């Protein structure tokens, strides 16, 4: 399946994020989050949040998916779907935190990378640029 095909039916990506959400380890916040990252070549990488009693070692679902993809050689991404909620039930939209947005900025084109936020009744669509309007992108470090 191509990335373009998946983008035409983003519910597939939302469904994969829902599956990932059920694998979350969230014994402290009880907020389960799942993400499904679409690479430009059509592969889908999933991730869930993994909490830690010390909190700062916790990792968000989005960064889990990105780390899995990058560790397998993927570097170019088209979209991500994110769902979340209390005890594994979608209770609203869960936009990515600032750290996740910055990690996305490292690998994703801000104007074309789509972020689908699952809601109890459907999903919202944003570009990375909308979520990180004055972001620090790799282009800031190129040239003088």
| Phi-psi domain of 38 (left: phi exceeds 0; alpha: psi -120 through 50; beta: other) | beta
Centroid of chain to Cα 64 = 9
The encoded tokens of residue 51 equal 């909490």
Centroid of chain to Cα 4 = 18
CA distance 18 to 23: 9
The encoded tokens of residue 73 equal 């050689």
Catalytic entry in 40, 62, 72, 87 = 62
Active site residue 62: yes
How many other CB atoms are found less than 10 A from the CB of residue 123? 19
Given a contact cutoff of 8 angstroms between Cβ atoms, the answer to whether 65 and 59 are in contact is: no
Q: Which residues are catalytic?
A: 62
């Amino acid at each position: 399946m191509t990335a373009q095909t998946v983008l035409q039916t983003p519910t597939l990506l939302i469904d994969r994020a829902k599956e990932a959400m059920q694998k979350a380890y969230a014994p402290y916040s009880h907020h389960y989050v799942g993400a499904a990252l679409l690479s430009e070549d059509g592969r889908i990488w999933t991730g869930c949040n993994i909490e830690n009693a010390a909190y700062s070692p916790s990792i968000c679902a989005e960064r889990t998916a990105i780390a899995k993809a990058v560790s397998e050689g993927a570097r170019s991404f088209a979209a991500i779907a994110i769902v979340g909620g209390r005890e594994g039930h979608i209770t609203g939209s869960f936009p990515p935190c600032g750290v996740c947005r910055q990690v996305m900025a490292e690998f994703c084109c801000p104007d074309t990378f789509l972020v689908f936020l699952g809601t109890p009744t459907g999903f919202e669509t944003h570009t990375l640029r909308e979520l990180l309007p004055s972001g620090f992108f790799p282009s800031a470090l190129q040239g003088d």
